[in-house]
């Protein structure tokens, strides 16, 4: 009997979660108050659901809110409906991989975040796809070896950081 109750409660939870996220609204029907997103006409409850539509800058945005905060993967598309950014959020903060793309569709940067701060390896490319910088971050501070590359792809310089302070520089 206990097992049946647990299964029933799990099914009810899944159904109510999917119902909460079954709604999709346009950005212009949402408003921000104290860092939390609400629907304009029903402003007493933080919004949970999907958002899709054009923002004031003309770019198309797709993502979801959970209790008024960004959650999961958010994508922004430019005027030509080409992917411009892809970012992952958890509880309203960047958390995971964030990617930005050039107009030609090539990757501009790939940055790792944890709890809203840069954390781990970050990669930066030019518009031809050539690697320009490799950076390492720890809780929003420079940490470890950073590599800077010439336009021809050759390593130009290495910088070593410890707790946001430059420790060593090597030029090649």
Could you give all domains of the chain from N- to C-terminal order, each with its CATH number? 21-77 (no CATH), 102-171 (2.20.110.10)
Find, among 75, 132, 88, the residue nearest to 114 by Cα: 88
Please, are residues 37 and 29 in contact by the beta-carbon 8 Å criterion? Answer: no
Please, are residues 38 and 48 in contact by the beta-carbon 8 Å criterion? Answer: no
Report pLDDT digits (tens) over 1-19.
555 444 444 444 444 444 4
Report pLDDT digits (tens) over 55-102.
878 899 999 999 999 999 999 999 888 999 999 999 999 999 999 999
Residue 19, pLDDT score: 40
Residue 79, pLDDT score: 84
42: helix, strand or coil: coil
Mean pLDDT of the 30-43 span? 90
Residue 80, pLDDT score: 82
CA 88 to chain centre: 3
Mean pLDDT of the 14-37 span? 76
Lowest-pLDDT choice from 19-33, 48-62, 104-118, 153-167: 19-33
151: helix, strand or coil: coil
Computed from CA positions of residues 81, 82, 87, 88, in that sequence, does the dihedral angle turn out positive or negative? positive
Residue 55, pLDDT score: 85
Per the prediction, the chain carries an average pLDDT of 89
Ranges of beta strands (E only) in the chain are 24-25, 30-33, 36-39, 49-54, 60-66, 69-77, 83-90, 93-101, 107-114, 117-125, 131-138, 141-142, 144-149, 155-162, 165-171
Report pLDDT digits (tens) over 95-151.
999 999 999 999 999 999 999 999 999 999 999 999 999 999 999 999 999 999 999
b/e 137-166 (16+ beta carbons within 10 angstroms → b): bbeeebbbebbbbeeeeeebeebbbeeeee
């Amino acid at each position: 009997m206990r097992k049946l109750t647990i299964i029933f409660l799990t099914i009810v939870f899944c159904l109510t979660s999917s119902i909460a996220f079954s709604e999709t609204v346009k950005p212009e029907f949402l408003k921000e108050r104290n860092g939390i997103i609400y629907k304009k006409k029903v402003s007493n409850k933080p919004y949970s659901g999907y958002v899709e539509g054009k923002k004031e800058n003309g770019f198309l945005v797709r993502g979801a809110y959970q209790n008024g905060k960004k959650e999961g993967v958010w994508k922004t598309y430019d005027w030509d409906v080409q992917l411009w950014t892809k970012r992952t959020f958890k509880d309203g903060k960047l958390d995971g991989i964030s990617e930005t793309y050039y107009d030609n569709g090539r990757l501009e940067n790939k940055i790792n975040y944890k709890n809203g701060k840069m954390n781990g390896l970050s990669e930066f490319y030019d518009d031809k796809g050539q690697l320009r910088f490799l950076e390492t971050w720890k809780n929003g501070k420079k940490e470890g070896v950073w590599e800077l590359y010439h336009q021809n792809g050759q390593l130009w310089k290495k910088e070593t950081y410890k707790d946001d302070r430059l420790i060593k520089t090597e030029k090649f």
